[in-house]
Amino acid sequence: MTFIILMRKRTAVFYLLSFLLVIMFMLRTYAFAVHPNMDNWKKEKIVVDKVKTEKKMVALTFDDGPDPQFTPMVLDVLKNHQAQATFFVMGKKAEANPAILRRIAAEGHEIGNHSYSHPNFNKIKKKAQLEEIDKTRIIIKNITGQTPRLLRPPGGYLSYDLVAMTKERKMTIAYWTYQQDSKDWRNGVKATAIARHVIRNISPGQIIILHDGCPNGIQTAKATDMIISRLQEEGYSFVTMSELIKLENQ
């Protein structure tokens, strides 16, 4: 009897572990799912996630700011290392922190469009998506005098309608290199882990995604310092995303 109970327990554990493995696989598959037309859009340079170059140049990009606490910390790090970056800002936060947005522009960094309020584009209609993009473009223009040419849709959303809208506005959809997503936005992820992920996976032409506008921003700022210090020692330069894109045409 004891043997039967033990076997049943082992069977139950086996099925539970199998179930969990299936769920993990599904989540990973979902997380890395891309639009079926992604390859074509990349060939047409409508979507950019990395650049083909032998030069040791990469682009640091920061999402979800400007944040009154964390963005200045990141800017200080960039200034200290004389490195350039691209900031994909939310219109709502840009309105609330215009001085920081002006500082980003004044220090030679690029400003990209990351929607007004960072909604789930899967749950709003085309008109609402367009309003999110256009409102942010106007805000950036009014504060800095610059018209953003790069769009990073919230959550990496892609659709035929979105591509059509960006084409009409002569914008490029600015993705990131999937190997360079350290998930730095997650609370509790330490700077050392963020930096280690980026450094281990580095190669020329990559677009690194980080977040200056999330609660874990202090770790992102510290990691940025570690990343630049180490990679500059290895001969890497940090340029804006638009500058990186130009390399492919040379």
Annotated catalytic sites, by residue?
63, 211
Q: Is residue 102 within 8 Å of 57, Cβ to Cβ?
A: no
Q: Which is nearest to 66 in space by CA: 84, 89, 86?
A: 89
Q: How many other C-beta atoms are found inside a 10 Å radius of the C-beta of residue 174?
A: 27
DSSP 49: S
* Residue owning tokens 């492919």: 248
* Residue owning tokens 């840009």: 94
Three-state DSSP class for residue 138: helix
C-beta contacts of 30-35 below 8 A and 24+ residues apart = 32/178, 34/158, 35/158, 35/159
For the chain, list the strands marked E by DSSP: 47-48, 57-65, 85-89, 110-113, 150-151, 172-174, 207-211, 237-239
